[in-house]
Structure 1
Amino acid sequence: MKAVRIHRHGGPEVLIYEEIEVPKPGPGEILVRNRAAGVNFTDIYARTGFLYELDLPTVLGKEGAGEVLAVGDAVAEFAVGDRVAYTETMGAYAEQTVVPAHYAVHIPAALSYETAAASMLKGLTAQYLVRHTFRVEPGQTVLVHAAAGGVGLILAQWANHLGATVIGTAGSAEKVELALQNGCHHVVNYREEDFVAKVQEITKGEGCHVVYDGVGKNVAKGSLDCQRPRGYYVNFGWASGPVDPIDPMDLIRKGSLYVTSPGLTLYLAKRDDVVANAHELFDVILSASVKIRTHAILPLMEAAEAHRQLQSRGIIGSIVLRP
């Protein structure tokens, strides 16, 4: 079968489209014929060697969707032919992927493979952020950085759906307009305005209950100044680089703030959580409370171009690869 692997860490050029052996599912695993695979910043982290230590060569990609081709021993929830989506499984950039059944879910008939693949990792990230890490309630004020990005678009819509006032940041006029159309009540163009000053102006000096940050280094310091006393700074991504160390004394001075850096894996540690969180995600998608925007669908062999586009931070929405 065809797959995209890396044999060494580096830039997009290390992504090699090549033929490899078809894997076989072991106990507790299923073999999925991929119809779509999502592209995420976590794939860039894996490619460059940041955050992940991988046995090379390896196939990248941590979310996909397709049909079950085979099931291993001790798998009761899935059968050959089932339509499924999965995440937290390295290897989606391939025609077929062995997936732990723990991280797979059935997808509704009304949901396309492309939408499922574009929403599993990003959508379940948004789900745990607004429903678990900091549970968004009606009347709260939420700041979403990169509100026109893959996670940001979902996050802003979901927080709006939950009754929050949503402030977004974006880096172009086009992205500002898109964010306003997808859940944000206010959007700050951080390339033209001081987002801290604008947030304080919008909130009349009260600040936000929570700041969701998938950007990292470039906005972390300012994010602490956007919060109200006992507010939450939630850093879940590093598109601009890792966050500089934060002095705990600054958290006291700025209002006894909370800082956390959560990851999806621990929120999916129990099988019941995987199923429940995914069902909640699919429900908000099918009800149109959250719309999944796809920037581009590219053939699998163009994975390197997908990485270039994503890393440029100029895209709007998600990129999907089609094996």
Structure 2
Amino acid sequence: MPPFIMAARIIDIASDRDAAIAQACARLGEGLPVAIPTETVYGLAADATNPAAVTRIYETKGRPRFNPLICHMSDLAMAERYARFDPISRRLAEAFWPGPLTLVLPLLPDSGIHALSTAGLDTVGVRVPKGFSAELIAAFDRPLAAPSANTSGKISPTSAQHVAADLGDKLTLILDGGQASVGVESTIIRVEGERVRLLRPGGVAAEDIEALLGCLLERQEGAAPAIEAPGMMASHYAPAAAVRLEATSAAGGEALIRFGGMPVSGFDEAVAVFDLSPSGNLQEAAANLFDMLKRADATGAASIAVASIPVHGLGEAINDRLLRAAAPREG
């Protein structure tokens, strides 16, 4: 495959939404990936039905091809053209779409979504995002495979500037929609009969899903036996620095990330101190997580100490991302 045209153009969607959609549709129609804003994180989007376009996603990110991609739809009606909904999944879609929820569903026969998008599985992760990205998908009228717009395994981007710093020399177009409001990727759910499984915690709190359904979600105990959806690899979302969790103290030369103004001994020895949410708000903490990991990493510290964060609500997703960031790195 020929090399990419270098040096991405950045378009602020607030200045000309229609032009941004038109230019993005042109690039997508050429089989090129485009970085787009969503409420969760910025996505590296390409036509999910075009094998050359999906291949470019994997090549741009350096992503393993066994790791499937979420396919983004403009609305529930579009999703029904590509995947089969059971009653529980439909109820979840009607309650939480558009929004940060991905449902793993059986592909319809001859759906048109290419096997590269699903890593050869007979299921597909489907999400309907909020706002601009849904408008773009409706205009393009094909699903967009869109993992996070970053080098595979590294910290996810929550701004156009994050994307440009990481992948700007591999893309032709980055759409700037400002800071992502949710800040962590979508919650991923799979329904199998009466079983409702949480494959990845994310921007919809598990408690909210459980309250809607009146049952507890099944959670994976230990390492996943197989990759069923994105974000299930043990090492992911990782900065260059080592990450040390549940820190009650900071050592000299470390960067420190804390929560809720929590006192941490030795904080005055840290090279930098960040607080995900001084007021202890988990929504604010989720929105700040990846940006603060990037800022802590940019200090050049050899390690990043992260204080304890509650596990309820969006804290479950925050702790999931931190555990994967701290996991032993492959290679």
Same fold (TM over 0.5): no
TM-score by length of 2: 0.25
Q: Counting helix residues as a fraction of each chain, which structure ranks higher?
A: 1
Q: Counting strand residues as a fraction of each chain, which structure ranks higher?
A: 1
TM-score by length of 1: 0.26
